[in-house]
Structure formats: C-alpha cells, structure tokens
Amino acid sequence: MNETNRTLSPEELVQLQKKFSEIKHSINNALAVMMALSEMSQRRPDYAEKLATTVLSKAPQIVSGLQEFTQLLNEKAGAKPAVAGESK
C-alpha cells in the first residue's frame, strides 16, 4: 500500500463524520429492533419468525452501510482497495 500522506479538507471530514453518524444511527436502530424482538420472542414464541425475518433483512443493510462507509473513507484517504488473495 502506498504510504502517501493525505490531508482531508474540512468539507471532506464533515462528510465522513456525517456518513459515520448515519451508519451508527442505522446500526443502533437495527440492533434495538432485533433486541426488542428477541425479548418479545422469549415471552411470545410467535415473535421468533418476525425476529428471524428482521435479522435477515437488517443484517445485509448493516453490512452494506459499513462497506459504503469504508469505501468512502478509503477514497478520501487515498487508499487503494484490497484485492482478494493479495497479501499485505
């Protein structure tokens, strides 16, 4: 990886902070829903299916958001994306 020093502009830093805040908020919301459904499914087993459906839909959204943030961060930092099978 190229060790070139890269300075972020104030605007780029604000953009990254905003994106991070959005991702964090989305993750917190998804986890709160999953935790609530998990607790409810312990009391009412019919909630187990809703919990499973929610986890199956929210988990990929969380992963996608984290990947988008990582890509944006790497772009702003000037980092090259890792290639599968390539050693560091």
Are 85 and 32 in contact by the 8 Å Cβ rule? The answer is: no
Instruction: Assess if residue 83 is contained within a domain.
Output: no
Instruction: Assess if residue 41 is contained within a domain.
Output: yes
- Domain count for the chain, please give it: 1
Domain that holds residue 71: 10-77
Rounded to an integer, what distance in angstroms lies between the CA atom of residue 71 and that of residue 14?
16
Are 37 and 46 in contact by the 8 Å Cβ rule? The answer is: no
Instruction: Assess if residue 3 is contained within a domain.
Output: no
**pLDDT tens digits for range 43-76:** 988 888 888 888 889 889 889 989 999 998 888 8
**pLDDT tens digits for range 3-38:** 556 788 889 889 889 989 999 998 999 889 888 888
Instruction: Assess if residue 2 is contained within a domain.
Output: no
